[in-house]
Amino acid sequence: MLIAFEKARDTAGGVPKLADQIGCSRANLYSLFSRGRPCPPALVLPVERATGISRHELRPDLYPIEA
């Protein structure tokens, strides 16, 4: 989960760009990454829209792939 969130950060071009794209504060995102936190549920869909990283990859516990 964290790896997908880091991939989203890199795809966006870094924390400042990702924060701007998803409407989140830079400080909040820096805090999440520095603490090794997974993508928060409220940010999964905005991150998916901004980066193309699927919700299933970002949070498989919340968005499992349905058979």
- Asked whether residue 9 is domain-assigned, the answer is yes
Place 62 in a pLDDT band, splitting at 50, 70 and 90.
very high
User: Which CATH number fits the domain that encloses residue 17?
Assistant: 1.10.260
Phi, psi of 24, deg, nearest 5: -120, 155
Report the distance separating Cα 18 and Cα 50, nearest Å: 8
- Asked whether residue 47 is domain-assigned, the answer is yes
Contact 49, 67 (CB under 8 A): no
pTM, two decimals, is: 0.91
| Domain residue limits at 34 | 2-58
- Asked whether residue 64 is domain-assigned, the answer is no
Q: What is the pLDDT of residues 25-41, one digit of tens each?
A: 999 999 999 999 999 99
Q: What is the pLDDT of residues 3-33, one digit of tens each?
A: 999 999 999 999 999 999 999 999 999 999 9
